[in-house]
Structure 1
Amino acid sequence: MIPDSLRETLETHLDVTIDSVAAVGGGCIANACRVETDGAPFFLKYGDEEVARTFPGEAAGLEALAAADSPLTVPSIRETAPPTDDRPGFLVMEWINSGRRGRRFWERFGEGLAALHRHAAEAYGFDDDNFIGQSPQPNEWMDEWPAFFRSQRLEPQVQMARERGRWQSSWNRPLETLYRRLPELLPETPDASVLHGDLWKGNFMVTAVGEPAIIDPATYYGHREADLAMTELFGGFQDRFYDAYRSAWALDPGYETRRDIYNLYHLLNHLNLFGAGYANSVQRTLNAVV
């Protein structure tokens, strides 16, 4: 199932004997497996350089989320390494058994995310650049949130869209208006919360005891509403999640406008990754926020 060279490396680095390997679904970038050993099972991702370059950022993000000490389950990292001439790069983490949602799953998820967001830094960014899906995500530390969101989030995606021929000239004027208005539309120095960064329904799971776990992050420190906005982009979570979050930590007025600005980043990323099917959503959002 996995290359012999990778098997040998894992057994040596983790000091285990691998009994079996089974492919698991859910990943769209890396090969993903459950690995049974003479100790505990673990979750393995592996791939070539294009895939493996995302692993250090994912590992650092999961470690930052775990350090927040929230009620949410975060898988622990065992090992990560880049590819060599004779084996692919890999990321090994704790295996989390899945189950059915408990009675208070959505409330626990909302409360847990609010608790996660209480863990904050002194500025916006992250120690290393990482990836949002397959797209590079710069994370230069900055002291003002609107400036960070423009230079580290919107501008790189817009530049990528231009380079790939996916940007439409009719978007130039509303984009410039948005850039000009960002300092009045976004708070200047909100709490720099630790964020999952890519929090949609495909990036959480239910543990064996029915509790929420978060996976596949694009972590950085930023305005907590950016995480909440992403949860609403592709279908949304249940109302009980949002009610529980707001009960734990209320939102300031104007969230709906800020939500659309934050989700413009993800829509541009999807435009760049998946093509023109997202163009109408980009246009509608640009028109709505300016």
Structure 2
Amino acid sequence: MIADEVARITGRPVAEARRLAGGDTAAAFAVRLADGAEVFAKSISPSMPGAAAAEAASLRWLAEPGVVAVPEVFGDGEGVLVTEHVASGSPSARAAEELGRGLARLHAAGAPAFGSAPPGGPADAWIGLAPMRNEPEEDWPTFYARHRVQPYVRRAVDEGVLNADSARVLDQVCEALADLAGPAEPPARLHGDLWSGNVHWGEDRAWLIDPAAHGGHRETDLAMLHLFGCPQLDRIVAAYTEVHPLAEGWRDRIALHQLFPLLVHAVLFGYGYSAQATAAARRALASH
């Protein structure tokens, strides 16, 4: 029972647990404690071992610099995460600009290495319903090819959603990554799964939720925001670049940084996304 687990984690009796709509990877609940406080809880599938601990570590790491709004973590157990409950609001220009500036400062807070996990977080983590390995490497092209693109190319081929010709195109991208990646940058502190659904618009600001945090390239978070669209995206990017200008040609590299999430979607949801991944790979090669 979610109420029993929340009571155990928080050390406070539960008055009511209300199931919330949505949630692709977990059942979500608004939980009212006996003292009147409300928290958010998610119950994660047993098929995703360590996911609660990985997300808790990610949230704490993103909150550490104090530059973006992130729900406070109250605790986690096996398959359950309890955090601050954030009321919903509407996207606003002011919130978007604050998010852009905060995201730039978050990235600048840095990480020990490309592929480093958050402190206390497991190397074997998750992005949505898919496993994700955090393994430190000396440079971003090596990390991205070895621990993001190539594992999912192999899995997509094995599961029959990516053909041999498409796999060869993706392999060509991995071989050319050092030339395609743009100017070298230090490891950034990434949200890691920053599609629009993981930007929660509160009453007066935007919050980052459901992270898959790791050390990576800062253009990855921005490419994720572009993948499925995001409210006020132009304002977010403009405010970001005021604080931390992006390297020349970053828009041409969006397709490169979208390869990993597209391949993940291909494995989870089928051939349509593998076609998009192949098209993105061809754009990445053509941009060089």
**Cross-structure match for 2:33:** 37
Question: Counterparts of 1:283 and 1:56 in 2: how far apart (Å)?
Answer: 33
**Cross-structure match for 2:120:** none
Question: Counterparts of 1:180 and 1:257 in 2: how far apart (Å)?
Answer: 18
Superposed, which structure 2 residues align to 1:41-56 within 5 Å? 41-51=38-48, 53-56=50-53
1:102 is displaced (CA, Å) by 4.3
> Structure 1's 109 and 273: CA in aligned 2 closer, same or farther, altered over 3 A?
same
Superposed, which structure 2 residues align to 1:51-130 within 5 Å? 51=48, 53-70=50-67, 72-82=68-78, 89-127=79-117, 128-130=123-125
1:125 is displaced (CA, Å) by 1.4
Match of 2:236 among 237, 241, 252: 241
Question: Counterparts of 1:287 and 1:47 in 2: how far apart (Å)?
Answer: 36
> Structure 1's 21 and 179: CA in aligned 2 closer, same or farther, altered over 3 A?
same
Question: Counterparts of 2:82 and 2:231 in 1: how far apart (Å)?
Answer: 29
Determine if contact 1:199/1:227 at 8 Å carries over to the other structure.
Answer: yes
Question: Counterparts of 1:176 and 1:279 in 2: how far apart (Å)?
Answer: 14
**Cross-structure match for 1:132:** 127
Which blocks of at least 5 consecutive residues in structure 1 are unaligned?
Answer: 83-88
Question: Counterparts of 1:260 and 1:48 in 2: how far apart (Å)?
Answer: 31
**Cross-structure match for 1:223:** 217
Deviates more, 1:146-155 or 1:21-30: 21-30
Q: Which amino acid aligns with 1:17?
A: P
- Helix, strand or coil: the match of 1:161? helix
Question: Counterparts of 1:48 and 1:98 in 2: how far apart (Å)?
Answer: 25
**Cross-structure match for 2:261:** 266
Question: Counterparts of 1:66 and 1:98 in 2: how far apart (Å)?
Answer: 19
> Structure 1's 194 and 113: CA in aligned 2 closer, same or farther, altered over 3 A?
same
Question: Counterparts of 1:149 and 1:103 in 2: how far apart (Å)?
Answer: 33
Match of 1:287 among 264, 282, 285: 282
Per-residue CA deviations over 1:101-122 (Å, capped at 9, x if unaligned) read 4451211111111111111123
1:241 is displaced (CA, Å) by 1.2
Q: Which amino acid aligns with 1:255?
A: W
Which blocks of at least 5 consecutive residues in structure 2 are unaligned?
Answer: 118-122
1:237 is displaced (CA, Å) by 4.2
2:201 maps to 1:211: no
Match of 2:169 among 174, 183, 188: 174
> Structure 1's 65 and 173: CA in aligned 2 closer, same or farther, altered over 3 A?
same
- What count of residue pairs does the alignment treat as equivalent? 278
2:3 maps to 1:7: yes
Identity of aligned residues (%): 33
Q: Which amino acid aligns with 2:196?
A: K
Q: Which amino acid aligns with 2:64?
A: A
Match of 1:252 among 223, 228, 247: 247
Alignment RMSD: 1.7
> Structure 1's 13 and 247: CA in aligned 2 closer, same or farther, altered over 3 A?
closer
Per-residue CA deviations over 1:122-174 (Å, capped at 9, x if unaligned) read 31112323111111111101111110010011011111112211111111332
- Helix, strand or coil: the match of 2:239? helix
Question: Counterparts of 1:165 and 1:196 in 2: how far apart (Å)?
Answer: 30
> Structure 1's 105 and 47: CA in aligned 2 closer, same or farther, altered over 3 A?
closer
> Structure 1's 138 and 201: CA in aligned 2 closer, same or farther, altered over 3 A?
same
Per-residue CA deviations over 1:221-258 (Å, capped at 9, x if unaligned) read 11101000110011244211111111111111121232
Determine if contact 1:24/1:32 at 8 Å carries over to the other structure.
Answer: yes
1:212 is displaced (CA, Å) by 1.0
